[in-house]
Amino acid sequence: MSKNQSKGFQIVCWCFIVGFLFISVFPFLWILITSFKPEVEIHGDGAYNIIANNPTLENYITVIFDKHILTAVKNSFIIAGSTTIYVVLVASMSAFIIARFRFKGKSLLMGLILSISMFPQMIVIGPIFNMFYDLDWLNTYNISLAYCTITLPSAVWIMVTHFKQVPLSLEEAAKIDGCTYWGILWKIIFPIAAPGVFATAIITFISGWNEYLLSCTLNIAESMQSVPVRISYLRDEYTIFWGQITAAAIVVIIPTLIMVLLFQKQIVAGISHGAVKE
C-alpha cells in the first residue's frame, strides 16, 4: 500500500469513527439541550433549535424540588447497591463450586442457569407480587431480593467463565500450604478474577438501576419509587412533560456516567479477561 493510499485509508477510518461517535453521543446531547428549553419551545417552530430562545432551569427546579427525583435516585442507589452486593457474594460462591468441583449434571445445571436468565419477567412477576403481598414487603427495600432473582443467573454464568481462567496450580499450591476452600476462594481466586467480578458487579448494578417492571409493580408508593418509575410519572392525563423528563434523565445519568468513567479500565479488563488463551 502506497503512502497516499495509507493516508486515504486513515482519513476514511477517522471519518467513520467521528461519525459513529456523533451518532452515539447525539441523543444524549439532544436530551441535554432539550432540558434547558421551556415546554413551549420543545414543540412547534423552535423544536429543532440547538440553543433555546429563552433558556431556563425551571425543568430542573421542578423535578428536583417538586417531583422529588433525588429521592428516587436515593432509592435506586440503595436497591441497586444491595442487589449488587448480594449477587456478587452468592454468585462468587456458586461459580467457585461449579468451576472447581466435579459432580454429575454440571452441564445440565449450567444450561438450567442460562435458561432461567432468559425467562421473561412477566412470567415471574405474578408469583413474586403474591409472595411480597403475603409477607407485607410491598413498598420496601426488600424489592432488591426480587431483583436478585433476575440478575443472579447471568452473574453466575459470567463468573464461572472467569473463575475457570485461574490456573489450577495456584489452588493446588494453596491446598499444600493448608489453605481451606474458603481461603482459596477469597484469597486466591477472587483477587485474580477481580476484573471479571468487577465487570459482573457493574452489569448487575446497571440492571438494578434500570429495572422498571418489578419496581412499578412492587413499589408504587411515591416515597419508594425508583428512578425509571418516577420518570414515567412525569405526565398528566393528556400531556407528557418532555422538558421535565429530559431534565430528570440528565440528573439520573450523571451519577452512573461518573461511575462508568471512573471505573472504565476495570470494566474493559473484566470484559476482555480470558479473551486470549495463554
**Residue 50, number of CB atoms within 10 A of its CB:** 7
The letter for the amino acid at 23 is I
Residue 60 is predicted with a pLDDT of 93
Average pLDDT over residues 191-218: 88
Q: What is the mean pLDDT of the chain?
A: 85
The residue extents of the domains of the chain are 61-272
Give the CATH H-level superfamily of domain 61-272.
MetI-like (1.10.3720.10)
242-262 vs 69-100: helix crossing angle, rounded to 10:
40
Least confident range of 88-97, 113-122, 218-227, 244-253: 113-122
> Is pLDDT of 205 > 50?
yes
pLDDT in tens, 209-243: 989 999 999 998 989 999 999 999 998 878 889 99
Average pLDDT over residues 199-205: 88
Q: Are 98 and 157 in contact (CB under 8 A)?
A: no
Residue 277 is predicted with a pLDDT of 46
How far does CA 42 lie from the centroid of its chain? 30
Residue 266 is predicted with a pLDDT of 63
pLDDT in tens, 132-157: 999 999 999 999 999 998 899 989 98
CA separation for the pair 140, 62 (Å, rounded): 26
**Residue 87, number of CB atoms within 10 A of its CB:** 29
pLDDT in tens, 162-172: 888 888 888 88
In which residue are the cell numbers 446497571 written? 206
Confidence of residue 278 (pLDDT cuts 50, 70, 90): very low
> Is pLDDT of 182 > 50?
yes
Average pLDDT over residues 269-278: 51
Torsions phi, psi of 235, nearest 5? Answer: -165, 165
Residue 276 is predicted with a pLDDT of 45
> Is pLDDT of 273 > 60?
no
Residue 47 is predicted with a pLDDT of 80
Average pLDDT over residues 111-126: 83
> Is pLDDT of 91 > 50?
yes
pLDDT in tens, 242-257: 999 999 999 888 877 8
Average pLDDT over residues 63-91: 93
DSSP character for 255?
H
Check residues 137 and 6 and name the one with the higher pLDDT. 137
CA separation for the pair 37, 55 (Å, rounded): 5
Average pLDDT over residues 6-31: 88
Residue in 183, 121, 195 with CA at minimum distance from that of residue 158: 195
